[in-house]
Amino acid sequence: MKIVITELIWPNGLELLEKYGDVEYDPSLWSDRATLLEKVKDADAIIVRNQTQVNEELLGAASNLKVVGRLGVGLDNIDIPATKKREVKVVFAKNANATSVAEYVFSAMFDASRNLSKANDDVHLGNWNRKQFTGSEICGKKLGLIGLGEIAQRVAKRAQAFGLDVLGYDPFVSKFDFVYNELGVKQVSLEELLSHSDFISMHVPLTKGTKDLIGAKEMEQMKSTAYLINSSRGGIINEADLLEAVTLSKIGGAYLDVIEQEPIKPTNPLLTNEKIILTPHIAGLTEEAQVRTSELVAEEVGKVLEGKQALCTV
């Protein structure tokens, strides 16, 4: 069996995969399309993150392909109908990085409330500006969760401990589901969530229905002090509208771990506003999460190659 890995994987995953076949690992292979198409011609498995475009072109070149392993949970770079047509299994790292993403949301809220990094920089300049760096508590604030899947539920559970009031909007979740009945999340309309929340965290996949889900109209409904947090997918928040809203102080700011075009270009207008905090798609990228992700995907790919039933298939 031949296994081609086109992006970063942790050593424990590599070690597991070597039990199932010959592994070709090049974390930059995704960026060289011609070489990639040549490498996958006789591949039984391909393992990717979010940069490798698994589309008709690649699937057509990989005539022996049995399984695609996704080191993460987003699937917008994989043509799922095309894989199903070719009977190629797709496995993903179900819930492996959920805790890390949930903690990222809290990192953003704490940073917005009490920016220790800026205070530290100021002290290193010889200043002692206690008034300037007087922050605010997150206790008693309202956190709005758009999308109530696994990650959002982990956020909600932790929010209880910090004394946050949690509002939730998800048209696919009923009022009797676990998140509303057991995690203290209040079911509200999108409009109510936008107008009442101090922090709004996005937890939805990128689809035709969620593209530009939050635009100028939605930001007009938000508090002028509210923050948007997006650790899901770029394209869910309209970036031009966001830049205008933050620049005009219609909202307090934003924390974006994902943007429409990754990696970011030096000319991206979002870089012009310091109230838009940008991180390089690292919400789920902790050491612990990547050990779990690499292990789970390697095991699930191995099951498919051995003709066994995988647990984390699309």
Rounded distance between C-alpha atoms, residue 123 and residue 125, angstroms: 5
CA angle 155, 253, 160 (to 5 degrees): 20
Contact assessment for residue 145 and residue 166, using Cβ atoms and an 8 Å cutoff: yes
Which is nearest to 149 in space by CA: 89, 93, 232?
232
Q: In what order do the strands lie in the sheet with 227-230?
A: 186-187, 165-169, 142-146, 199-202, 227-230, 253-256, 276-278
Half-sphere exposure of 204 (CA within 13 A, CB side): 25
Instruction: Report how many helices (DSSP H) and strands (DSSP E) the chain contains, helices first.
Output: 12, 12
H/E element holding 3? strand 2-5
Which residues, in sequence order, are bridge partners of residue 253? 227
Please identify which of the residues 182, 262, 288, 306 carries the catalytic annotation. Answer: 262
114 tagged catalytic: no
Please identify which of the residues 196, 203, 281, 292 carries the catalytic annotation. Answer: 281
Please identify which of the residues 49, 154, 233, 292 carries the catalytic annotation. Answer: 233
196 tagged catalytic: no
- SS3 assignment, position 302: helix
- SS3 assignment, position 44: coil
Point out the residues that are catalytic.
Answer: 233, 262, 281
